[in-house]
Structure 1
Amino acid sequence: MSAENSAATPLPLLAGVTIVDLSRVLAGPFATMTLANLGARVIKVEIPGTGDDSRAFGPFAGGKSLYFSAINCNKESIALNLREAPDRAIFESILEKADIVVENYRPGTMEKLGYGWDVLHARYPHLIYGAASGFGDSGPYSRRAAYDMVVQGMGGIISMTGYPGGKPTRVGISIGDITAGLYLAIGLNGALFRRTLTGLGSKIDIAMLDCQAAIMEDAITSCAKTGEVPGPHGTRHPSIAPFQAFLASDGYIIIAAGNDHLFALMAGALDEPGLTADPRFATNDLRHQNIDALEQEMEKALSKNTVAHWLDALNAAGVPCGPINDIAGMIADPQVNARNMVVTVQDPVAGEIRVAGNPVKVVGLAEPATFAPPPELDEHRAKIVAEFAPLAAGDLAGKSPS
């Protein structure tokens, strides 16, 4: 019999897990946001006076950073100076009861503060340690600084993005940080499970460059075996056709007919039976070899009507397709809204803001209609000190460290 009473309201997946979050900007905060959305309690430990670097990133609403707000809902904040004894005592009292500590400093920084993995594991053997950095704890680049753009360039993704012959093009989001945050969240969940078996915490060492290598799909395997170096293809897929954006009479439409059956259905929806009879397009390999000719024939057919018309026709035929939404279009999309993927948050400083929802849906567990607003710097100091360091509460609660 499960310990969770089936008649009671189901608990979030990470209910009861407490995370001490020393990270800032994106990779670490994205990981802790993901875990907070799964029910973990996240306590941000921030630098007194300035806090998370991203608090200074625009745009702003009511003086509050929307960048910071997008990544830090459902978290608490306390400002601690880890070089001062009173704040170190509070920090260590929190660690005593916490499950996970997360940081994304350059390797060696936590050791200088006296809170490296070896020290923490000896003192708090239950504690799980999550670290995200540009290059990880080992290797010749370990102590180098890095930002998202650096690892996008080094990891190969920029070389595969954009159009042939064009200038290097950054992926539109900070995919170097975000993938590191996702892999960190995966590793921390694995460490929580391992702890149920051993009682011991683990250190999860995530390098942003490693994560860029990990998401290269088949590019590593293909390049290493064939010697052919992948390059940019615009919206085209490197090995499947048709699988790209095509121009209709009033704009672009994505069509992804990934096998011969879908290609035949697509030809019928476009009222172009000659496409399937054309020997150049008889198989996916042939379609890929003759992709320029295929694009020309398809756009000739698509030019006869609008994107909306073709979306209706292709969806009715069961062919994967879609519009190219801008962000405003995505926010307004009925499917996105039906899945609660844009959440409205009432922030006392910024007013009403909208943030991304939780993509991890748990059957039988109702999602919250809103999130707790992103915290003000040191907002939860009195509460946290009273809970974790009650002996210090009388002297320190309500006081910001110098």
Structure 2
Amino acid sequence: MSPGPLDGILVADFSRVLAGPSASMWLADLGARVIKVERPGTGDDTRAFGPPWAGSSSAYFESANRSKESIALDLANPDDASLARTLAARADVVLENFRTGSLARFGLDPDAVHRANPRAVYCSITGFGSGAGAHLPGYDFLVQAVGGLMSITGDPDGEPRKVGVALVDLLAAKDAVIGIFAALRHREHTGEGQHVEVDLLSSLLASLANQASSYLATGVAPRAMGNQHPSIAPYETLRAADGILAVAVGSDRQFRALTVALDAPAFADDPRFASNGARVGNRAELIAVLEGALASIPVDDAVNRMLAAGLPAGRVGDIPSAIALAESLGLDPLVDVGEGHPAQVRYPVRYSAFTPVTPTAPPALDADGAALRAWLAAPD
């Protein structure tokens, strides 16, 4: 197996919780050496985010920290702070999500690191940027709320709802990886490192896609629509005889095929439903007609009929069924990280020229501390 494309890249990871650790984990999946710096005694906050518990800490911690080395350093201790500065001086990438400016007292702010290591790519992840929003605490749930995502999530008549995973943290993590890749590429051409800044609010706004565009085009704020799409119908969940299925019909041709699959072809020519615009405008009547046709059809039968007609449809499942589906399709969704640790969801991208490195288990707190302290104390 060929080494990953980041083989030889050293990442000094001073981040905690989810966004930063996820970004550094994906860098490790691609071959980077990631050294995770943690607080003595407690380590990353997520080590205590249980139950459930797994491996050496929590299942939460395990989800974002495979294939790393751990060293516990007390940055308030001058000797430990000196080791941290040495690590940053040797690193290709420095990743942190501390409150803006708080690392300056340890000589680990971007300017200090670049004076010692001009080639470093220094990536900061914040909640609301390093300017006027620097004092605001950056938590995924908070950003989902103030960033508008909750306003378009949930039932139309219900209260705003968060997404069922810390999605904004993960969006920011992916933006951080992209930003780091671009900065490393820039360094190849110029020899210069730089400061890469990612904030949760901007990552969320950039991911609102058509919903943000709709507001900017019309001045009207989108609203929560449950499982419905604001511009396409039927693109939602529908109730069948024994459960719920998801249908994503995106064209008039597909709608005609849907009516044939449900033994109700006449509805394709009904003026209320003959075009997507008409279907969106008459959504309540459309749902009533489709669910009437589905009332005597079991979900699996309905899904099979639609798939046979080339239509996007599926039973609404859960995480176990999603993993089982990926396995049945040969997508190999899971990786083994070692005895005593649960399997993990693999790095999601496939490459023709190499494969992500074989993962190792998330480290116990300070598991590599002795070896790393000796390495950092020795001349480079």
Pick the TM interval, shorter chain: over 0.9
State the Cα deviation string for residues 264-307 of structure 1 (Å, max 9, x = none): 22222222211211111111111100111111111111122111
Q: Please, which moves more after superposition, 376-385 or 179-188?
A: 376-385
Q: How does 1:209-248 map to 2 (within 5 A)?
A: 209-248=201-240
Q: How does 1:4-23 map to 2 (within 5 A)?
A: 9-23=1-15
Q: 2:345 aligns with which of 356, 372, 393?
A: 356
What is the SS of the residue equivalent to 2:337? Answer: strand
In the alignment, what sits opposite 2:332? 340
Query: Structure 1 176/367 Cα, relative in aligned 2: closer, same or farther at 3 Å?
Result: closer
8 Å Cα contact 2:122-2:196 kept in structure 1: yes
Measured after TM superposition, the shift of residue 103 of structure 1 is 0.5
Measured after TM superposition, the shift of residue 336 of structure 1 is 6.8
Q: How does 1:1-400 map to 2 (within 5 A)?
A: 9-58=1-50, 59-61=52-54, 64-138=57-131, 140-335=132-327, 338-347=330-339, 351-366=340-355, 371-390=359-378
8 Å Cα contact 2:56-2:363 kept in structure 1: no
Aligned pair count reads 379
8 Å Cα contact 2:70-2:363 kept in structure 1: yes
State the Cα deviation string for residues 108-166 of structure 1 (Å, max 9, x = none): 1112322111111122100010111111112x222211211111011100000001110
d(CA) in 2 for partners of 1:306, 1:44: 51
Q: Which amino acid aligns with 2:345?
A: A
What is the SS of the residue equivalent to 2:164? Answer: coil
d(CA) in 1 for partners of 2:13, 2:329: 30
8 Å Cα contact 2:55-2:341 kept in structure 1: no
In the alignment, structure 2 segments of 5+ residues that lack a partner are none
In the alignment, structure 1 segments of 5+ residues that lack a partner are 1-8, 393-402
d(CA) in 2 for partners of 1:367, 1:119: 33
8 Å Cα contact 1:131-1:205 kept in structure 2: yes
Query: Structure 1 62/23 Cα, relative in aligned 2: closer, same or farther at 3 Å?
Result: closer
d(CA) in 2 for partners of 1:310, 1:211: 38
Measured after TM superposition, the shift of residue 367 of structure 1 is 5.0
What is the SS of the residue equivalent to 1:19? Answer: strand
Measured after TM superposition, the shift of residue 313 of structure 1 is 1.3
Q: Which amino acid aligns with 1:93?
A: T
What is the SS of the residue equivalent to 1:279? Answer: coil
d(CA) in 2 for partners of 1:171, 1:318: 30
State the Cα deviation string for residues 284-334 of structure 1 (Å, max 9, x = none): 111100111111111111122111112211111111112211112122224
Measured after TM superposition, the shift of residue 344 of structure 1 is 2.9
8 Å Cα contact 1:330-1:336 kept in structure 2: no
d(CA) in 2 for partners of 1:199, 1:165: 55
Measured after TM superposition, the shift of residue 385 of structure 1 is 2.9
Q: Which amino acid aligns with 2:37?
A: V
d(CA) in 1 for partners of 2:246, 2:90: 50
Measured after TM superposition, the shift of residue 71 of structure 1 is 0.9
8 Å Cα contact 1:148-1:176 kept in structure 2: yes
Q: Which amino acid aligns with 1:92?
A: R
8 Å Cα contact 2:23-2:176 kept in structure 1: yes
What is the SS of the residue equivalent to 2:336? Answer: strand
TM-score calculated relative to the size of structure 1: 0.90
Query: Structure 1 98/336 Cα, relative in aligned 2: closer, same or farther at 3 Å?
Result: farther
Query: Structure 1 192/53 Cα, relative in aligned 2: closer, same or farther at 3 Å?
Result: same
Q: Which amino acid aligns with 2:280?
A: H
8 Å Cα contact 2:4-2:355 kept in structure 1: no
State percent identity of aligned pairs. Answer: 39
d(CA) in 1 for partners of 2:100, 2:355: 40
What is the SS of the residue equivalent to 2:171? Answer: helix
Q: Please, which moves more after superposition, 90-99 or 173-182?
A: 90-99
